[in-house]
Amino acid sequence: MTRQKYSIFSLLRNAVSRNENWQQAWRSPAPRKKYDALIVGGGGHGLATAYYLAKEHGMRNVAVLEKGWIGGGNTGRNTTIVRSNYLWTEAALLYEKSLKLWEGLSRDLNYNVMFSQRGVYNLGHSLQDMRDIERRVGANRLDGIDAEVVTPEQIKAAIPMINTSPRVRYPILGASLQRRGGVARHDAVAWGFARAADALGVDIIQQCEVTGIYRDHGRVTGVETRRGRIEADRVGVVVAGHASVLAGMAGLRLPLESHPLQAYVSEPLKPVLDTVVMSGAVHGYISQSDKGELVIGAGIDAYNGYGQRGSFHTIEHAMQAIIELFPAFSRVRMLRQWGGIVDVSPDACPIIGKTPVQGLYFNCGWGTGGFKATPGSGWAFAHTIARDEPHDLNAPFSLERFTTGALIDEHGAAAVAH
């Protein structure tokens, strides 16, 4: 089908006709009996996978199976931060691939994902923090990623609301700054990928929970769903917090634990923060959305949980961190709070690759930082599914690394509030 192109002209044309003639952005087809490939999970990563399968590898007989509605899971439950300043080369190159895709994504998808490169500051509060920051910035530059070290004076000049007093419990001694980092509009990412994938022939099937994975002699043959059996020789599973549940259907064990990760949005304020600020030491991160809300995140709840909610003391901890950095925000009221279920891996790095079951691929373990990787994750996963072998970028992120011991130890090293 021909897809209406979004442009200033289509806006004007539809404004004249009272916005009554907009085409639907994607179809809602009934599932067919058989596809060349199935993607389980209609979040950003799954939709991106389907899009790049169709676009880069010519696989168009593909369906995305989504339990609820697309983008209704972690894609719509995160703090939308995008950056690529990871310490280890394997991780840095993967996230940098993603960042490069972000930079052209709105044009590529013909959908405004509102990617805003407003910069990301990772604060240091101790001498050791600053040594780690210097090291990471150096590593980033060697990997061809923009990074710089900034002083408290520079931070104060860029972010007037921040408290750079040396007489606090966690004084700000400096920061790393990635100017190409920023935020994007999370819903638009899901919708943009869905619309673009659908235009290439991908079936997006919502309300279609997968309840079983069929195998025959070590090969995947299809899945059982709430809407019947669907056959396929290749099945890519990218379901974030429920990865272990899906793996169990295929008799596999994964090195993952699912935790609630809470985030918070304040009442809308006038523009007060035009960048992203993260701190590992006080453990919080904050930006301001285009609607004026402060978007705040912090650490996971300690316990395993699938309940999409967490404990109150975790909220309190996140707020303490933000007030420590921005005392002026102490009187801001929070509007909404939610929890996503994040699949945390032992080395805080994702698993993107093949499994012991032929034709079954898993993309999981993104933990607390998957949103930034949405396009790159889909791009690499599509390559893995189409060629039945990982791309060089995701080869180090195999499930076998937990057997060989070749972990990519980003825990605490990536300037992230893990």
Residues interacting with another protein, by CB under 8 A?
Answer: 242, 244-245, 253-258, 302-307, 311-313, 346, 402-405
Closer to another protein by CB, 19 or 404: give it. 404
Q: Which residues of 154-193 are buried (b: 16+ CB within 10 A; e: fewer)?
A: bbeebbeebbbeeeeebebbbbbbbebbbbbbbbbbbbbb
The least CB distance from residue 408 to another protein, in Å, is: 13
Place of tokens 């634990």: 257
Distance CA 121, CA 91 (A): 19
Task: Report the 10 Å Cβ neighbour count for 141.
Answer: 12
The least CB distance from residue 400 to another protein, in Å, is: 9
The least CB distance from residue 403 to another protein, in Å, is: 4
Closer to another protein by CB, 233 or 257: give it. 257
The least CB distance from residue 401 to another protein, in Å, is: 9
Instruction: Give CA torsion, residues 407, 413, 417, 418, to 10 deg.
Output: 20
The least CB distance from residue 258 to another protein, in Å, is: 6
Distance CA 277, CA 175 (A): 9
Structure tokens at 172: 């700000």
Closer to another protein by CB, 267 or 400: give it. 400
The least CB distance from residue 343 to another protein, in Å, is: 8
Closer to another protein by CB, 253 or 270: give it. 253
The least CB distance from residue 289 to another protein, in Å, is: 28
The least CB distance from residue 295 to another protein, in Å, is: 24
Phi, psi of 159 (to 5 degrees): -130, 80
Closer to another protein by CB, 103 or 257: give it. 257
Distance CA 203, CA 249 (A): 23
Closer to another protein by CB, 42 or 310: give it. 310
Closer to another protein by CB, 214 or 402: give it. 402
Closer to another protein by CB, 202 or 352: give it. 352
The least CB distance from residue 6 to another protein, in Å, is: 39
Closer to another protein by CB, 245 or 395: give it. 245
Place of tokens 């799954």: 46
The residue type at 310: G
| Rg of the chain in Å (alpha carbons) | 21
Give, in order, the Cα–Cα distances in Å from 222 to each of 63, 232, 248, 259, 381: 12, 5, 15, 29, 18
Report the candidate in 75, 45, 39, 74 with the shortest Cα–Cα distance to residue 59.
39
Quick one: 65 exposed, middle or buried, by C-beta within 10 A (0-12, 13-18, 19+)? buried
Report the candidate in 355, 350, 348, 345 with the shortest Cα–Cα distance to residue 393.
350
Give, in order, the Cα–Cα distances in Å from 215 to each of 125, 303, 345, 382: 52, 33, 26, 21
The least CB distance from residue 68 to another protein, in Å, is: 15
Closer to another protein by CB, 222 or 339: give it. 339
Distance CA 84, CA 401 (A): 22
Closer to another protein by CB, 215 or 242: give it. 242
Structure tokens at 20: 């009554």
CB 335 within 8 A of CB 77: no
Which residues, in sequence order, are bridge partners of residue 121?
177, 277
The least CB distance from residue 362 to another protein, in Å, is: 13
What 3-state class would DSSP assign to 268? strand
Handedness of CA 45, 46, 50, 53 (dihedral sign): positive
Structure tokens at 315: 């909220």
